[in-house]
């Protein structure tokens, strides 16, 4: 499982957990990568059908040579880690919410992590997922197939009700 060791180190770089005493232990990051792999298998149409055994801690077939899959897994794991950081900051620093008119206030230190969620690895993952899926010819076949409907009237630009 050389891929897991390499992916763990890359994930550490992305989440800036490189100190002599890292925030996350290897086994936590490995579990995060496996959880992320479960999402990726569902989100992305890949050339290889992977099976993720979260409890057993493995993916089959071995994804060592599939850079696309591994990059998606690492990005999703970084996204999940950012979500943890935001949740921890929100719990520790607190959130202020009002009912009317609706307002959500997050303290300054939490704003940084919230920015990571909006513009960081989660957004990058979603953007690349969309690009990958729209680059998939199977999806294009569905979009470009003939449209058949008895209810569509082009002159009304809508459907018969």
Between residues 38 and 154, which one has the greater pLDDT? 38
Quick: pLDDT tens for 68-77.
899 999 999 9
pLDDT at 16 over 60: yes
Quick: pLDDT tens for 66-123.
988 999 999 999 988 877 666 555 555 655 566 666 666 655 555 555 565 566 777 8
Instruction: Report if residue 161 sits inside a domain.
Output: no
| 143 band by pLDDT with thresholds 50, 70 and 90 | very low
**CA–CA dist 50, 59 (Å, integer):** 7
Specify the DSSP element, H or E, that contains 104: strand 103-106
pLDDT at 134 over 60: yes
Instruction: Report if residue 157 sits inside a domain.
Output: no
DSSP for 28-93? HHHHHHHHHHHHHHHHS--SS--EEETTTTEEES--TT-HHHHHHHHHHHHHHHHHHHHHHHHHHH
Full residue range of the structural domain in which residue 23 is found: 2-145
How many alpha carbons fall within 13 Å on the CB side of residue 94?
2
> Structurally, how many domains does the chain consist of?
1
Full-prediction pTM beyond 0.75? Answer: no
**Per-residue confidence (pLDDT) for residue 140, from 0 to 100:** 45
**Per-residue confidence (pLDDT) for residue 157, from 0 to 100:** 54
Instruction: Report if residue 50 sits inside a domain.
Output: yes
Instruction: Report if residue 137 sits inside a domain.
Output: yes
């Amino acid at each position: 499982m050389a891929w897991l060791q390499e992916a763990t180190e890359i994930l550490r770089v992305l989440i800036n957990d490189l100190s002599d005493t890292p925030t996350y232990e290897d086994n936590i990051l490995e579990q995060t990568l496996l959880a992320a792999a479960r999402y990726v298998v569902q989100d992305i149409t890949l050339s290889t059908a992977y099976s993720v055994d979260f409890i057993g801690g493995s993916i089959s077939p071995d994804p060592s040579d599939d850079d696309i899959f591994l990059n998606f897994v690492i990005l999703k794991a970084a996204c999940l880690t950012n979500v943890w950081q935001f949740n921890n900051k929100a719990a520790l620093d607190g959130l202020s919410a009002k009912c009317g008119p609706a307002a959500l206030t997050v303290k300054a230190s939490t704003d940084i992590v919230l920015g990571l969620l909006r513009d960081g690895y989660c957004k990058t993952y979603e953007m690349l997922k969309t690009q990958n899926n729209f680059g998939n010819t199977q999806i294009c076949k569905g979009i470009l197939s003939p449209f058949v409907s008895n209810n569509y009237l082009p002159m009304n630009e809508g459907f018969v009700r």
